[in-house]
Amino acid sequence: MSTFTDAAGPRGVRTRRPTPADVAAAAARGDVRAWVEAVAALTEPDAVVWCDGSASERARLLDAMVGAGTLVPLDPGRRPGSYLARSDPDDVARVESRTFVCPSRRADAGPTNNWRDPAEMRTELGEAFAGSMRGRTLYVVPFSMGPVGSRLSRVGVQVTDSPYVVVSMAMMTRVGTAVLDRVAAGEPFVPAVHSVGAPLVAGEDDVPWPCNATKYIVHFPESREIWSYGSGYGGNALLGKKCFALRIASVIGRDEGWLAEHMLLLRLTSPQGRRYHVAAAFPSACGKTNLAMLHPTLRGWRVETLGDDIAWLQPGPDGALRAINPEAGLFGVAPGTGPTTNPAAVEMLARDVIFANVALTDEGDVWWEGLTPEPPAHLVDWTGADWTPADGAAGRPAAHPNSRFTVSATRCPTLAADWDDPEGVAVDAIVLGGRRATTVPLVLQAESWEHGVLMGATVASERTAAAEGQVGELRRDPFAMLPFCGYDMADHWAHWLRVGAALDPARRPLVFQVNWFRTGADGRFLWPGFGENARVLAWVADQVDRARLVRTDVGAVPSPIGLLPAPGALDTAGLAMDERALAELLAFDPGAWLRETERTEEFFGQFGDRVPGSLRAQVSRMRAALAASAGSGGHGGQ
Ligand code: GTP
Ligand code: SPV
Ligand code: MN
């Protein structure tokens, strides 16, 4: 970490404050130093510090944050090297309503993104960022998404006035000066400007979690720029994650022939030692981290973690779809994480973790709903107030529903030894899913790549606490990318079709849809989930084998909505479930699916003629098949 310049220098020389356009011009020249100076002249920090991601830098920043009250150190005996951050109660999740995608033409953002004219947005940003870092330090954080130097990786530089963001970025990405060397050698970088938007007036005390009621999370996909203002939390502020690795990278991938997706990445090994790589897309807080760290209940099967939130997938020279996890850490949902649901995560969180918005125990440890069956008798809740189980009974959770942990991937006990292989892994199966109380069966296989793209395009899910909005409301979330695609969603489907066409048909991944969240008449989940999800993965692996090897046994039966497990093909031995519940999980209702296809056509309507013709044709075909099936009165499935 080094202080090489004071913003007062350039400020004194300049005749006018640079605009965001001036800042962008410096970045476009590939001149990191000039870009940083321009940002500093715009935001007027007290000092500029270049970060290197070192342990000493981390220690210094952590100490300073403890001093400032931003972090509460946890008991070193119970939770070594770990801290709790309590954010401002108005800064607890992604703000989709303030997330903007600003290509020059509105149509290129598509109907599901908030678009603003880029010139107008730059004017607004110029006003917001003017002097926004006064009284603070501007940190320069050079980072790589993916192993440094891999042909699948891309680099960025984030400037931020939040030490919390610096420490988090060093866990979530590969921060280091090697990135600056690559930029100096001509590699393009994604410039990411972040300010919490809380300038300090001289002599005034800081607050533990500075932020601003007005927020901007802005992307300029054409110049690959990110500007984030007003929030210090998660994907709003750790700009390598959703802003770069999904919104900007999806656009880079569109232009270069690859995919940046909201997907976990895992390796499944069968009792026979056969290996399968699975990439799975579920919306926020719908089970990616849990599946990525799965502890299989099926004997002899093993899951290794490669990534838990984002995958970059690229057709390889071998005709396979090769994938890497561009991140280096996990920013995972705390509530619901416990010894029975995710034992590996509990082990992962034993040390060196930064928790945000969980509860604090009287012993200086952390707690959240689901960590233990019974809550402790007394806690300090995520807002800093006293809490007892009576508060929980009254509907006031001790941990915020979107409370999270930040931890380095190397702390993950199920991490694959070769998780940072620069060549990535060849994906055998793509799994898509969401939270659906009704309609969608436990598992379904696509008949073709095109059908798989239709499945992805029509994913719907009940909203979670990961973003602002009404929890539980059903919304379309194509490929779990609704809040994360940096261009028109229908173009994204067309791009998926193109990428599939570029693959060797013999190596192209099979596509599946899953739903762990179907409920019975009593409103309870029909499927036990978690470790038992291995049964579904084992069927997926079996189907991959049937497609790739010469195997004649029947694993699936066709239906109007796709391939369902053949009777007996899904291993349910030892599952404490009655036959009726199992049948209900795998059944489909032609009437409900007919309504689903009508809603799909309605949904497609907003994208006009950008929807690929082959997807529309498939919906029509499915409709006809469903009408015939409904007419014959037959219920599908087992
Ligand atoms: P983001 O980090 O927001 O992208 O979320 P994620 O998809 O990684 O979600 P995560 O794995 O953290 O799961 C979020 C919530 O879903 C937790 O409260 C889990 O307990 C719950 N969950 C995960 N898997 C299952 C499952 O198989 N069944 C049920 N019923 N709940 C699950
Ligand atoms: C999500 O909301 O999908 C997350 C958390 O993974 S955040 O990084 O805050 O977007
Ligand atoms: Mn996510």
pLDDT digits (tens, 9 = 90+) for 503-531: 999 999 999 999 999 999 899 999 999 99
Q: Is 288 in the pocket of ligand 1 (CB under 6 A)?
A: yes
Nearest Cα neighbor of 279 from 291, 269, 271 is 291
Contact 331 CB / ligand 2 (< 6 Å):
yes
Beta strands in 88-133 (DSSP E): 99-101
Average pLDDT of the segment spanning 568-578: 91
284 lines ligand 2 (CB under 6 A): yes
φ, ψ (nearest 5 deg) of residue 574: 80, 0
8 Å CB contact between 293 and 345:
yes
CB of 496 within 6 A of ligand 2: the answer is: no
For 185-224, the DSSP string reads TT--EEEEEEE-S-PPPTTPPPPSS---SS-EEEEETTTT
Whole-angstrom CA distances from 327 to 113, 290, 450, 508 are: 24, 17, 29, 24
Q: How far apart are CA 508 and CA 506, in angstroms?
A: 6
Per-residue pLDDT, 632: 66
Give SS3 for 550.
Answer: coil
Greater confidence (44 vs 3) lies with 44
Stated length of the chain: 638
Residue 10 clears pLDDT 70, i.e. is over it: no
Name the amino acid, one letter, at 598.
E
Q: Given a cut of 80, is residue 13 above it in pLDDT? A: no
Residue nearest to atom 3 of ligand 2 (CA): 284
> What span, in angstroms and rounded, lies between the C-alpha atoms of 432 and 445?
10
Q: Ligand 1 in contact with 516 (CB < 6 A)?
A: yes
Above pLDDT 70, what percent of the chain?
97
Amino acid identity, residue 544?
V
pLDDT of residue 78: 98
Q: In the chain, how long is the greatest CA-to-CA distance?
A: 81
Environment of ion ligand 3 (residues, CB < 5 A):
284, 309
Q: Given a cut of 70, is residue 428 above it in pLDDT?
A: yes
Which residues of the chain does CATH 3.40.449.10 include?
A: 10-70+94-257
Cα separation, 195 vs 7, whole angstroms: 15
**What are 326-354's pLDDT values in tens digits?**
999 999 999 999 999 999 999 999 999 99
Residue pLDDT, tens place only, 246-278? 999 999 999 999 999 999 999 999 999 999 999
Query: What CATH code is assigned to 260-328+420-587?
Result: 3.90.228.20
Which pLDDT does position 15 carry in this prediction?
62
Q: In this model, does residue 636 exceed pLDDT 60?
A: no
Is 286 one of the catalytic residues?
A: yes
Strand partners, 329: 408
Q: How far apart are CA 193 and CA 22, in angstroms?
A: 13
Burial (CB < 10 A; 0-12, 13-18, 19+), residue 524, is exposed
Q: Going by DSSP bridges, is the β-strand pair 311-315/404-408 parallel, antiparallel, or unpaired?
A: unpaired
- Pairwise pLDDT comparison (13 vs 231), residue with the higher score: 231
* Residue with tokens 């209900």, as numbered in its chain: 584
- The whole-angstrom separation of Cα 65 and Cα 57 is 12
- Taking the C-alpha atoms of residue 337 and residue 467, their distance in angstroms, rounded to an integer, is 19
Do the strands 2-5 and 47-50 form a parallel or antiparallel pair, or are they unpaired? antiparallel
Find the range with the poorest average confidence among 62-71, 534-543, 628-637.
Answer: 628-637
Helix axes 32-43, 118-129, angle to 10 degrees: 60
CB 508 within 8 A of CB 321: yes
Residue 5's pLDDT is 42
Please tell me the predicted confidence (pLDDT) of residue 637: 42
Average pLDDT (117-136) is: 98
E strand or H helix that includes residue 140: strand 137-145
Which of 19-23, 472-476, 613-617 is least confident?
Answer: 472-476
Q: Is the CB of 37 under 6 A from ligand 2?
A: no
Residue 633 has pLDDT above 80, yes or no: no
User: Which of 242, 258, 172 lies closest to 480, judged by CA?
Assistant: 242
Structure tokens, 95: 């703000």
Q: Cα torsion at 229, 231, 237, 243 (round to 10°)?
A: -60
Average pLDDT, the chain: 95
CA of 466 to the centre of ligand 2 (A): 6
For residue 181, give the amino acid letter.
D
Rounded to whole angstroms, the Cα distance separating 457 from 496 reads 10
- How many Å lie between the centroid of ligand 2 and the Cα of residue 69? 25
**42-60 b/e (C-beta count within 10 Å ≥ 16 → b):** bbbbbbbbbbbbeeebbee
Assess whether the C-beta atom of 327 lies below 6 angstroms from ligand 2: no
Which residues lie closer than 8 Å to 607 by C-beta, 6 or more apart? 110, 111, 488, 489, 490
Give me the residue label for tokens 């926020």.
284
- Which residue of 98, 217, 241 sits with most ligand 2 atoms within 8 Å of its CB, as the best mutation to test the pocket? 241
Structure tokens at 232: 């210090």
With a cut of 80, say whether residue 403 has pLDDT above it: yes
Ligand 2 atom nearest to 283, measured from its CA: 3
Tell me the one-letter amino acid at 367: W
437: nearest Cα among 370, 525, 332: 525
Centroid of ligand 3 to alpha carbon of 324 (angstroms)? 16
In the prediction, which pLDDT does 9 show? 44
* Buried residues in 304-319 as b, exposed as e (16+ CB within 10 A): bbbbbbbbbbbbbeee
Measured on CA atoms in the order 382, 386, 388, 394, is the torsion positive or negative?
Answer: negative
| Ligand showing the shortest atom-to-Cα distance for residue 286 | 1
**What residues are paired with 84 via a beta bridge?**
72, 355
329 Cβ closer than 6 Å to some ligand 1 atom = no
Burial class (CB in 10 A: 0-12, 13-18, 19+), 12: exposed
The two structure tokens encoding residue 539: 């069927």
Residues 600, 593 contacting (CB under 8 angstroms): no
Residue 94 CA to ligand 2 center (angstroms) comes to: 7
| Closest ligand to residue 534's CA | 1
Entry pTM: 0.96
CB 618 within 8 A of CB 451: yes
Topology of domain 10-70+94-257 in CATH is Phosphoenolpyruvate Carboxykinase; domain 1 (3.40.449)
Select from 172, 219, 242 the residue to mutate for testing ligand 2; criterion: most ligand atoms less than 8 Å from CB. 242
Residues of the chain with CATH 2.170.8.10: 331-411
C-alpha distance from residue 171 to each of 31, 164, 354, 404, 464 (Å) = 26, 11, 10, 14, 25
- Ligand 1 atom closest to Cα of 402? 3
Ligand 1 contacts CB of residue 525 (under 6 A)? yes
Distance between CA atoms of residues 210 and 19, nearest Å? 24
User: What value does the mean pLDDT take over residues 490-504?
Assistant: 98
Task: Tell me what the mean pLDDT of segment 486-493 comes to.
Answer: 98
Each residue's pLDDT tens digit, 450-460: 999 999 999 99
Q: What are phi and psi of 517, to 5 degrees?
A: -110, 15
Where does the chain hold its CATH 3.90.228.20 domain(s)?
260-328+420-587
DSSP one-letter code for 525: B
* 1: confidence class by pLDDT, cuts 50, 70, 90: low
Q: ∠ at Cα 297 (566, 440), nearest 5°? A: 45
Which of 51, 211, 243, 286 is catalytic? The answer is: 286
Per-residue model confidence (pLDDT) at position 470: 84
Q: How far is the CA of 482 from the centre of ligand 3 (A)?
A: 11
Mean pLDDT value of segment 34-53: 98
**Over 70: is that where the pLDDT of 140 sits?**
yes
3-state secondary structure labels for all residues of 149-179: CCCCCEEEEEEECCHHHHHHHHHHCEECHHH
Fold that domain 331-411 belongs to in CATH: Phosphoenolpyruvate Carboxykinase; domain 2 (2.170.8)
Å from CA of 172 to ligand 1 middle: 19
CA atoms of 526 and 542, how far apart (whole Å): 23
Question: Kind of pairing, strands 259-261 and 311-315?
Answer: antiparallel
Q: What is the pLDDT of residues 307-321, one digit of tens each?
A: 999 999 999 999 999
- Position 12 confidence tier, pLDDT thresholds 50, 70, 90: very low
Q: Which helix (H) or strand (E) holds 49?
A: strand 47-50
Query: SS3 of 390, please?
Result: helix
DSSP string, 406-419: EEEGGG-TTB-TTT
Task: Find tokens 């050079």 and name the residue.
Answer: 142
What are residue 562's DSSP bridge partners?
Answer: 559
Report which of 398, 409, 395 is spatially closest to residue 372, judged by C-alpha positions: 398
Q: How far is the CA of 262 from the centre of ligand 3 (A)?
A: 6
